[in-house]
Amino acid sequence: MAEILDVDLIAYEKGGASARAAVVDGVMRSLETGFVYTSHDLGEDMLDEAYAMLAQFFSMPTEDKLRAMAPGTHGQTGYTGLLVETAASSDVADWKEMLNWGRNIAEGHPLKRKYPHRYPHQVLPEEQVPGISKVLNNFHDRLLDLQRRFLRIIAVGIGCHETFFDQMTTDGTTITRAIHYPAMELAPGAGHEWASAHGDINLITALPRATKKGLMVETSDGWVDAIPPTGQAIINTGIMLEHITNGRISQGIHKVVADPDDPGERYSVVQFCHPTPWTILSPVSSCVNEGIPQRFAGVSAGDRLDQVLYEINLIEDARRLES
């Protein structure tokens, strides 16, 4: 039976060889579903403060939220309204609105010069919610630290050095996304879901907490609810990790649907851990052998991201679907 397992990141970092090996084994077995639950040290107070400020922002009139939009960034920072993002496999827009943010890098940085559209000036609703920038930037940094630490477990699991992902995620285009899923009874017409079935584009995604259930994972046994133990975070795999591991670790396919018995609004905050756009996504040698030939040709992370942004309807001047 496919099962999402609960592992202990802290035990991996502080335990002996046998404890570390047990965590690596648990992670690799759980990632057959594309998902795993893990302990973390983010702090509940930090999460509470961030969620309270985000709820304040999303409860504002539309005209106030629109002031936090960042035109030309293709949904990679600032506010994105309802019925815009659309799963690549769907022709019906998701019933959600979002606030995205990352970290600015130095203007003279070679990544900024080479990929200016990948590193836009970050936009947060500081005017609407004073103090939110400091809180959300701290949230972003803490969650990215957690993800980079977790990637070290995955690196060992695929036969690479523990630090394999460290350099490629330094100054990567990681973004954090706050999502408000309005009550389904407010959705226009039929066919809308909070988020249709999809896989994430990045390496891994972290979700430390949501306000209610709704996340579902596709497994070999069908769709199952993703409900982590209290105080645990969800980690799921993305398309870029699937490329690097030659499909040994598949992207975690998931959707977000309202519980018929509790269809009211839902909030979540997720972070998409991205490598630098010049990283070449090509299968590592430890995941290729005579029995498992190379499945994927090399492609830059930036080019693969652009392709998926078009597929999910976020390229502003080339919408795949019009709302």
For residue 39, give both structure tokens.
């302990």
Residue 323 has pLDDT above 70, yes or no: no
**Structural domain of 224:** 6-311
Closest CA to 102 of 93, 90, 111: 111
Which of 130-134, 210-214, 316-320 holds the top average pLDDT?
130-134
Can you tell me the distance from the alpha carbon of 3 to that of 5, in angstroms, rounded to the nearest whole number? 6
Residue 93 has pLDDT above 90, yes or no: no
Residue 292 lies in a domain: yes
Residue 130 lies in a domain: yes
Residue 320 lies in a domain: no
pLDDT one-digit tens code per residue, 204-223: 999 998 999 999 999 988 99
Residue 301 lies in a domain: yes
Place of tokens 């991996």: 12
Residue 134 lies in a domain: yes
Using an 8 Å Cβ cutoff, are 181 and 95 in contact?
A: yes
* Number of domains within the chain: 1
Closest CA to 232 of 252, 210, 255, 208: 208
DSSP at 237: E
User: What pLDDT is attached to residue 192?
Assistant: 84
Residue 34 lies in a domain: yes
- Torsion sign across C-alpha atoms 34, 35, 39, 43: positive
Residue 267 lies in a domain: yes
User: What pLDDT is attached to residue 304?
Assistant: 92
Task: Give strand pairing partners of 200.
Answer: 238
User: What pLDDT is attached to residue 11?
Assistant: 94
Residue 218 lies in a domain: yes
Q: Is the pTM of this model over 0.85?
A: yes
User: What pLDDT is attached to residue 156?
Assistant: 98
pLDDT band at 1 (very low <50, low <70, confident <90, very high): low
Alpha carbon 42 to its chain's center: 17
Residues 6+ apart with CB under 8 A from 236: 34, 35, 36, 200, 204, 205, 207, 217, 252, 254
pLDDT band at 322 (very low <50, low <70, confident <90, very high): low
User: What pLDDT is attached to residue 311?
Assistant: 83
Task: Supply the CATH number for residue 231's domain.
Answer: 2.60.120.330
Residue 190 has pLDDT above 80, yes or no: no
**Mean pLDDT of the 82-87 span:** 86
